[in-house]
Amino acid sequence: MSLIPDEHLKSSSNFNFAPMIDFLFLMLAFFATLAVSRASLYDTKLSLVQLKTEEGAQPIKQADESHQINLSVTNSGSYQWITEIQAYPMENLERIKKELNYQHQIGLLPKDKHQTQVLLHIDKNASWDPVAKLIFAIREEGFDAFPVYEPDEIINSEEK
């Protein structure tokens, strides 16, 4: 005969985990609140650097909007005006100059010609003569020309 009934000494197969899970969620909420409040306390003591303008310095003006024009030089030396839709062949440099001026005059390009980026997509087999002539023609009109370099891996994967 024992002081504890036999039914209490038998192993119970249905242990109730609900109170333990509730306790873990409460502890998680407590430590998360503690961490967030400590982080916010440390963030309030941040001292940021104050920028001071120098005397006579011009403020930096952010460009309103830059516009891009894509031109390509093929391996045969011919020129193309590339848009999102298709590539338009250009007969000669005068046609490119005329188109640049026309788009500038009707307002498709920014008033400041230096806000327009003329991107040159040059075929790696193209000779330098048409490339140099194109760069000089673009600069004569007051625009800036920028060559676009694509790694060989991208070019080879597009050809396949």
Per residue in 71-117, pLDDT tens?
A: 988 888 899 998 888 888 888 999 999 998 898 888 888 888 888 88
User: Contacts for 124-128 with beta carbons within 8 Å, 24 or more apart?
Assistant: 124/155, 125/75, 126/73, 126/74, 126/75, 126/76, 126/77, 127/77
Per residue in 110-140, pLDDT tens?
A: 888 888 889 988 888 888 888 889 999 999 9
Q: What is the pLDDT of residue 21?
A: 93
The CATH class given to the 67-159 domain equals alpha beta
Q: Where are the domains of the chain?
A: 17-47, 67-159
Per residue in 14-33, pLDDT tens?
A: 778 889 999 999 999 999 99
